[in-house]
Amino acid sequence: MTLIKSISGIRGTIGGKKGDTLNPLDIVKFTSAYATFIRENGGTGQHAEFNDHRPTIVVGRDARISGVMVDSVVSGALMGMGYDVVNIGLASTPTTEMAVRLLGADGGIIITASHNPRQWNALKLLNAEGEFLNAKEGARVLAIAEAEDFEYAELEQLGHYINCDEADDWHVDEVLGLDLVDVEAVKNAHFKVCVDTINSVGGIILPKLLEQLGVEYKVLNGEPNGDFAHNPEPLEKNLTGIMDEMKSGQYDLGIVVDPDVDRLAFICENGKMFGEEYTLVSVADYVLSHTPGNTVSNLSSTRALRDVTERHGGTYAAAAVGEVNVTTKMKEVGAVIGGEGNGGVIYPECHYGRDALVGIALFLTAMAKRGGKVSEFRATLPDYFIAKNRIDLTPETDVDALLVKVKEMYKDERVNDIDGVKIDFADRWVHLRKSNTEPIIRIYSEAPTMAEADELGQKIMQVIAEM
């Protein structure tokens, strides 16, 4: 049983004992702490739709089996704290983020464990801009939770519960309204796509987007029942079903999302992976060709984004892993696009959050305008290969000591320690860090060939094993 408290929210497995998992008692504690934090930071409830001006929190969830239970506890705790709850039901992470901003709410809670397996769930916490809390704010929420110093509302001040079923439509409309999304061009291209929505909310919202774009589609694993047909992380090893479907030759593009639709992967018309790392690179190439500027990705992302950015005359910057770290750096350098190499596209013209719908609409527009096959587009982008490895942590693992030793071993190379340890060599790199979302150390390595990337990753893993 596991409970992880990090910059990515409160995440844990369902069931077990208080303090060890994401159980009802701990859900109440962390929700109450978040509500207290919002009140401390000026939650005023000025949304015009509500006459009595109570503070308002938007709640949305993915289709996980535990979602109804977690949602009920979260919403009840918020009302008990005197907050009105606008519950948008089954909704993607970016949909919930946008609903906070569009409703003028004081914050939001997204109930999703993103790519984690079915036994996991999580609370992702948003500010009034619909963006994730930063490290300092998250630390404050955890401190409040630890103190358990909550003040619940008297009877007359209890919050109200409001159902809202319009958020998906708002989200789709916002995406289709972007200047660089050419709806008519996409319609005229007559694309046929296959989509794997992994039995979650993508099966609800992606058809709405594709229908508005005039795209013919087939959905695999479309029933949003949370009973994931395969491991929900959109990596090649988990996507054999849609890759085999693509080999039939019936489709122009394969589209894969994770359970909360903030990660996006493409599959070429021939059934081969476009490359999860290249989702952001390809969309950035299109965006930069029309609006030159700077870009940002995290330290574990491919160098290809840097190459594409410089090709278009911009400057690339790296951030620590974690969406809020990337968005903070994007604002700092005025980036026109950014994201994470795990398939997360952040386009500020829409909002500061990873959004698969934005990525899909921009990619389809790029393909409609350039013509040709998806595999041909991929061949125009810089070619690197990333090996993604992991080491499971035990209670005895001293991660900090381990990272210090690795850093010392490679002190003569270019070392970045803002998030774990990244070692940059002339034509390759390796990055090891403790995950924000799982009890593991991630070891990512990139090189000119997959064999070289694997070799570098295995070398570091061997070094760790011998410590």
Looking at the annotation, which residues are catalytic? 114
Is residue 441 a contact partner of residue 10, using CB atoms and an 8 Å limit?
no
Chain-centroid distance, C-alpha 447: 25
* Cα 149 to Cα 394: distance, rounded to the nearest angstrom: 32
Report CA Rg, the chain.
22
The H or E element that residue 194 is part of is strand 192-196
C-alpha atoms less than 13 angstroms from C-alpha of 79 in its C-beta half-sphere = 17
- Phi then psi for 465, rounded to 5 degrees? -60, -30
Nearest by Cα to 213 from 5, 4, 362, 323: 362
* Cα 29 to Cα 141: distance, rounded to the nearest angstrom: 10
Vertex 404: Cα angle to 398 and 406 (nearest 5): 105
* Cα 367 to Cα 186: distance, rounded to the nearest angstrom: 8
Any idea how long the chain is? 467
Q: How many Cβ atoms are within 10 Å of 81's Cβ, its own excluded?
A: 26
The angle, 0 to 180 degrees and rounded to 10, between the axes of the packed helices 278-290 and 304-311 is 10
